[in-house]
Amino acid sequence: MKPGEGQSGFETSKDVFSAENVSGQIAAAFNSPEKKAVYLAKKAFLEKYPTETQAIETVFGIIPTLRNSEGLKTMDAKKDGWKKVKQTLKNVTEYNFLLTDLIHNNIENREFLEGLWKTLSTLARDVNQEKQFDQLRRGILSQVAAWRVLEENGSNPKLSHPGEDAFDSIDLWTEKGEAVQVKGAPIHGVALIETDTVAFPGVTFEGKGGGNHYHLNSHLFLEAQRFKAKMSRYGELHNEDTKGLFLVVPYEDIDFTTGEPNRRVVDEVKKSLPV
Protein backbone atom coordinates (compact mmCIF):
# COMPACT_ATOMS: atom_id res chain seq x y z
CA MET A 1 0.00 0.00 0.00
CA LYS A 2 1.45 3.35 -0.99
CA PRO A 3 1.27 6.39 1.27
CA GLY A 4 -2.04 8.15 0.79
CA GLU A 5 -3.80 5.03 -0.47
CA GLY A 6 -5.06 3.91 2.93
CA GLN A 7 -8.28 4.97 4.54
CA SER A 8 -9.36 8.45 3.60
CA GLY A 9 -9.82 9.27 7.26
CA PHE A 10 -11.88 12.40 7.82
CA GLU A 11 -11.46 13.65 4.26
CA THR A 12 -14.83 12.40 3.06
CA SER A 13 -16.69 13.85 6.04
CA LYS A 14 -14.86 17.08 6.83
CA ASP A 15 -17.96 18.93 8.05
CA VAL A 16 -18.90 16.26 10.58
CA PHE A 17 -15.32 15.63 11.67
CA SER A 18 -14.32 19.22 12.21
CA ALA A 19 -12.22 19.63 15.34
CA GLU A 20 -14.92 21.59 17.17
CA ASN A 21 -17.72 19.16 16.38
CA VAL A 22 -15.90 15.92 17.11
CA SER A 23 -14.01 17.03 20.20
CA GLY A 24 -17.11 18.60 21.73
CA GLN A 25 -19.24 15.50 21.30
CA ILE A 26 -16.55 13.10 22.47
CA ALA A 27 -15.59 15.21 25.48
CA ALA A 28 -19.26 15.44 26.46
CA ALA A 29 -19.60 11.66 26.22
CA PHE A 30 -16.55 11.02 28.40
CA ASN A 31 -17.74 13.58 30.96
CA SER A 32 -21.29 12.27 31.04
CA PRO A 33 -22.51 10.42 34.15
CA GLU A 34 -24.30 8.02 31.80
CA LYS A 35 -22.23 4.81 31.72
CA LYS A 36 -23.04 4.07 28.08
CA ALA A 37 -22.46 7.62 26.80
CA VAL A 38 -19.11 6.89 25.13
CA TYR A 39 -20.33 3.61 23.68
CA LEU A 40 -23.46 5.24 22.24
CA ALA A 41 -21.59 8.23 20.84
CA LYS A 42 -19.04 6.05 19.06
CA LYS A 43 -21.75 3.70 17.83
CA ALA A 44 -23.59 6.65 16.27
CA PHE A 45 -20.46 7.80 14.41
CA LEU A 46 -19.65 4.29 13.20
CA GLU A 47 -23.17 3.74 11.91
CA LYS A 48 -23.25 7.06 10.09
CA TYR A 49 -19.73 6.75 8.64
CA PRO A 50 -19.01 3.01 8.28
CA THR A 51 -15.97 3.60 6.03
CA GLU A 52 -14.26 5.74 8.68
CA THR A 53 -13.78 3.01 11.30
CA GLN A 54 -10.05 3.49 11.89
CA ALA A 55 -10.28 7.26 12.17
CA ILE A 56 -13.25 7.09 14.56
CA GLU A 57 -11.58 4.46 16.75
CA THR A 58 -8.45 6.63 16.85
CA VAL A 59 -10.26 9.77 17.97
CA PHE A 60 -12.38 7.97 20.57
CA GLY A 61 -9.30 6.16 21.87
CA ILE A 62 -7.12 9.17 22.61
CA ILE A 63 -8.51 10.06 26.06
CA PRO A 64 -8.23 6.57 27.63
CA THR A 65 -4.79 6.16 26.03
CA LEU A 66 -3.47 9.40 27.51
CA ARG A 67 -4.86 8.47 30.91
CA ASN A 68 -3.34 5.00 30.69
CA SER A 69 0.03 6.42 29.65
CA GLU A 70 -0.01 8.80 32.59
CA GLY A 71 -1.05 6.00 34.92
CA LEU A 72 1.83 3.76 33.81
CA LYS A 73 4.29 6.26 35.28
CA THR A 74 3.13 5.47 38.81
CA MET A 75 2.02 1.85 38.43
CA ASP A 76 3.89 -0.78 40.39
CA ALA A 77 3.80 -4.47 39.52
CA LYS A 78 3.85 -5.50 43.18
CA LYS A 79 1.22 -3.02 44.31
CA ASP A 80 -1.06 -3.01 41.26
CA GLY A 81 -0.34 -6.50 40.00
CA TRP A 82 1.65 -7.43 36.90
CA LYS A 83 -1.53 -8.44 35.06
CA LYS A 84 -2.96 -4.92 35.34
CA VAL A 85 0.32 -3.27 34.36
CA LYS A 86 0.71 -5.61 31.39
CA GLN A 87 -2.85 -5.01 30.16
CA THR A 88 -2.51 -1.23 30.50
CA LEU A 89 0.75 -1.24 28.54
CA LYS A 90 -0.83 -3.49 25.91
CA ASN A 91 -3.78 -1.09 25.53
CA VAL A 92 -1.42 1.85 24.99
CA THR A 93 0.70 0.08 22.38
CA GLU A 94 -2.39 -1.15 20.52
CA TYR A 95 -3.61 2.43 20.25
CA ASN A 96 -0.17 3.61 19.12
CA PHE A 97 -0.25 0.94 16.40
CA LEU A 98 -3.65 2.19 15.23
CA LEU A 99 -2.60 5.85 15.16
CA THR A 100 0.78 5.20 13.52
CA ASP A 101 -0.87 3.17 10.77
CA LEU A 102 -3.51 5.86 10.20
CA ILE A 103 -0.90 8.63 9.90
CA HIS A 104 1.30 6.57 7.58
CA ASN A 105 -1.60 5.64 5.30
CA ASN A 106 -2.60 9.31 4.99
CA ILE A 107 0.88 10.83 4.91
CA GLU A 108 0.18 12.69 1.67
CA ASN A 109 -3.16 14.04 2.91
CA ARG A 110 -2.03 17.06 4.92
CA GLU A 111 -5.52 18.56 5.22
CA PHE A 112 -6.86 15.41 6.85
CA LEU A 113 -3.89 15.10 9.22
CA GLU A 114 -4.10 18.75 10.26
CA GLY A 115 -7.74 18.19 11.21
CA LEU A 116 -6.95 14.94 12.99
CA TRP A 117 -4.14 16.43 15.10
CA LYS A 118 -6.29 19.44 15.93
CA THR A 119 -9.09 17.18 17.14
CA LEU A 120 -6.75 14.99 19.21
CA SER A 121 -5.02 18.05 20.66
CA THR A 122 -8.34 19.60 21.67
CA LEU A 123 -9.41 16.41 23.43
CA ALA A 124 -6.07 16.20 25.24
CA ARG A 125 -6.50 19.77 26.44
CA ASP A 126 -10.05 19.04 27.60
CA VAL A 127 -8.74 16.36 29.98
CA ASN A 128 -5.57 18.25 31.01
CA GLN A 129 -3.24 15.83 29.23
CA GLU A 130 -1.39 18.23 26.91
CA LYS A 131 2.07 17.15 28.10
CA GLN A 132 1.30 13.47 27.69
CA PHE A 133 -0.19 14.19 24.26
CA ASP A 134 2.94 16.03 23.11
CA GLN A 135 5.04 13.02 24.10
CA LEU A 136 2.71 10.67 22.25
CA ARG A 137 2.74 12.86 19.13
CA ARG A 138 6.54 13.02 19.04
CA GLY A 139 6.78 9.26 19.44
CA ILE A 140 4.19 8.47 16.77
CA LEU A 141 5.63 10.88 14.20
CA SER A 142 9.19 9.66 14.87
CA GLN A 143 8.01 6.14 14.11
CA VAL A 144 6.20 7.23 10.94
CA ALA A 145 9.34 9.08 9.84
CA ALA A 146 11.49 5.98 10.42
CA TRP A 147 8.95 3.86 8.54
CA ARG A 148 9.18 6.23 5.56
CA VAL A 149 12.99 6.38 5.71
CA LEU A 150 13.23 2.60 5.54
CA GLU A 151 10.63 2.47 2.76
CA GLU A 152 12.60 4.99 0.73
CA ASN A 153 15.69 2.83 1.16
CA GLY A 154 14.00 -0.36 -0.04
CA SER A 155 13.77 -2.14 3.32
CA ASN A 156 10.00 -2.73 2.94
CA PRO A 157 9.28 -2.28 6.66
CA LYS A 158 6.09 -3.15 8.48
CA LEU A 159 4.81 -2.31 11.93
CA SER A 160 5.57 -4.82 14.65
CA HIS A 161 2.80 -6.53 16.58
CA PRO A 162 1.71 -4.32 19.53
CA GLY A 163 2.91 -7.00 21.94
CA GLU A 164 6.39 -6.91 20.41
CA ASP A 165 6.40 -3.14 20.78
CA ALA A 166 5.25 -3.26 24.40
CA PHE A 167 7.52 -6.01 25.70
CA ASP A 168 10.41 -6.31 23.22
CA SER A 169 10.78 -2.63 22.18
CA ILE A 170 10.44 -3.60 18.51
CA ASP A 171 8.74 -0.85 16.50
CA LEU A 172 9.28 -2.10 12.95
CA TRP A 173 10.44 -5.15 11.02
CA THR A 174 12.37 -4.93 7.76
CA GLU A 175 11.88 -7.35 4.89
CA LYS A 176 15.15 -9.05 5.89
CA GLY A 177 13.78 -9.78 9.36
CA GLU A 178 15.70 -7.03 11.14
CA ALA A 179 14.00 -5.70 14.27
CA VAL A 180 14.04 -1.90 14.47
CA GLN A 181 13.69 0.27 17.55
CA VAL A 182 12.96 3.92 16.80
CA LYS A 183 13.85 6.93 18.90
CA GLY A 184 13.06 10.54 18.10
CA ALA A 185 15.38 13.03 19.77
CA PRO A 186 16.36 16.73 19.77
CA ILE A 187 19.68 15.96 18.10
CA HIS A 188 21.59 17.08 15.02
CA GLY A 189 22.40 14.12 12.82
CA VAL A 190 20.92 10.66 12.36
CA ALA A 191 22.13 7.72 14.44
CA LEU A 192 21.74 4.18 13.10
CA ILE A 193 23.58 1.17 14.48
CA GLU A 194 23.32 -2.57 14.54
CA THR A 195 22.90 -3.72 18.13
CA ASP A 196 25.91 -6.03 17.90
CA THR A 197 28.16 -3.10 17.00
CA VAL A 198 30.42 -1.79 19.75
CA ALA A 199 31.15 1.65 18.33
CA PHE A 200 28.40 4.25 18.45
CA PRO A 201 28.38 7.53 16.49
CA GLY A 202 28.42 10.68 18.59
CA VAL A 203 25.49 13.06 18.28
CA THR A 204 24.79 16.39 19.90
CA PHE A 205 21.80 18.01 21.52
CA GLU A 206 21.42 21.75 21.32
CA GLY A 207 20.04 23.42 24.42
CA LYS A 208 17.20 25.92 24.41
CA GLY A 209 18.01 29.11 22.60
CA GLY A 210 20.84 27.44 20.71
CA GLY A 211 23.05 27.51 23.78
CA ASN A 212 24.85 24.58 25.34
CA HIS A 213 25.51 21.44 23.33
CA TYR A 214 25.40 18.13 25.16
CA HIS A 215 27.02 14.94 23.92
CA LEU A 216 24.44 12.14 24.03
CA ASN A 217 26.75 9.33 23.06
CA SER A 218 26.56 7.57 26.44
CA HIS A 219 22.79 8.00 26.81
CA LEU A 220 21.95 6.60 23.39
CA PHE A 221 24.54 3.88 23.78
CA LEU A 222 22.76 2.75 26.97
CA GLU A 223 19.41 2.71 25.15
CA ALA A 224 20.96 0.68 22.34
CA GLN A 225 22.46 -1.77 24.84
CA ARG A 226 19.06 -2.29 26.45
CA PHE A 227 17.61 -3.04 23.04
CA LYS A 228 20.47 -5.42 22.34
CA ALA A 229 19.70 -7.31 25.56
CA LYS A 230 16.04 -7.57 24.59
CA MET A 231 17.00 -8.86 21.15
CA SER A 232 19.15 -11.50 22.78
CA ARG A 233 16.24 -12.65 24.94
CA TYR A 234 13.89 -12.50 21.93
CA GLY A 235 16.26 -14.71 19.93
CA GLU A 236 16.52 -17.25 22.73
CA LEU A 237 12.74 -17.36 23.17
CA HIS A 238 12.09 -17.82 19.44
CA ASN A 239 15.19 -19.94 18.80
CA GLU A 240 16.51 -17.59 16.13
CA ASP A 241 19.27 -15.03 15.69
CA THR A 242 17.52 -11.68 15.29
CA LYS A 243 19.52 -8.65 14.17
CA GLY A 244 18.46 -5.38 15.77
CA LEU A 245 18.70 -1.89 14.30
CA PHE A 246 18.61 1.12 16.60
CA LEU A 247 17.49 4.22 14.69
CA VAL A 248 17.42 7.75 16.12
CA VAL A 249 15.67 10.40 14.01
CA PRO A 250 16.18 14.12 14.77
CA TYR A 251 12.95 15.94 15.58
CA GLU A 252 14.13 18.86 13.44
CA ASP A 253 14.04 16.63 10.35
CA ILE A 254 10.44 15.45 10.80
CA ASP A 255 7.31 17.16 9.47
CA PHE A 256 5.23 17.35 12.64
CA THR A 257 1.94 17.10 10.79
CA THR A 258 2.58 14.20 8.41
CA GLY A 259 5.65 12.50 9.85
CA GLU A 260 7.45 12.81 6.52
CA PRO A 261 11.25 12.95 7.02
CA ASN A 262 13.39 15.30 5.00
CA ARG A 263 15.68 14.02 2.28
CA ARG A 264 18.83 14.42 4.34
CA VAL A 265 17.67 11.76 6.81
CA VAL A 266 16.82 9.33 4.01
CA ASP A 267 20.25 9.77 2.45
CA GLU A 268 22.13 9.47 5.75
CA VAL A 269 20.35 6.25 6.68
CA LYS A 270 21.06 4.81 3.24
CA LYS A 271 24.80 5.15 3.93
CA SER A 272 24.49 3.31 7.25
CA LEU A 273 22.06 0.49 6.48
CA PRO A 274 23.66 -2.98 6.59
CA VAL A 275 24.01 -4.62 3.19
Q: Which of 35-39, 168-172, 197-201, 209-213 has the lowest mean pLDDT?
A: 209-213
List b or e across 233-253, with b for residues whose CB sees 16 or more CB atoms inside 10 angstroms.
Answer: ebeeeeeeebbbbbbbbbeeb
Residue spans of alpha helices (H) in the chain: 19-31, 37-48, 53-72, 77-80, 82-105, 110-126, 130-152, 162-168, 217-238, 263-272
Residues in the chain: 275
pLDDT at 140 over 90: yes
The answer to whether residue 173 is domain-embedded is yes
The C-alpha atoms of residue 247 and residue 265 are separated, in whole angstroms, by 11
For residues 97 and 189, state if they share a domain: no
Q: What is the pLDDT of residues 14-63, one digit of tens each?
A: 444 554 578 888 989 999 999 999 999 999 988 988 888 999 999 999 99
Going from the C-alpha of 33 to that of each of 27, 67, 128, 173, 263, the distances in angstroms are 12, 18, 19, 43, 50
Assigned domain for 15 exists = yes
How many domains does the chain contain in total? 2
Is 52 a domain residue?
A: yes
In this structure, are 198 and 162 located in the same domain? yes
**Are residues 15 and 124 both part of a single domain?**
yes
Pairing state between β 204-206 and 213-215: antiparallel
- C-alpha 62/C-alpha 123 separation (Å) is 8
**160 vs 180: CA distance, rounded Å:** 9
Domain that holds residue 204: 156-272
Q: Can you give the pLDDT at residue 2?
A: 40
pTM score of the predicted model: 0.85
Same domain, 76 and 169: no
Do residues 93 and 202 share a domain?
no
Mark whether 171 and 266 lie in a shared domain.
yes
Specify whether 117 is located in the same domain as 171: no
Higher pLDDT, 239 or 36: 36
pLDDT band at 211 (very low <50, low <70, confident <90, very high): very low
Q: CA 141 from chain center: how many Å? A: 6
Residues 164 and 124 in one domain: no
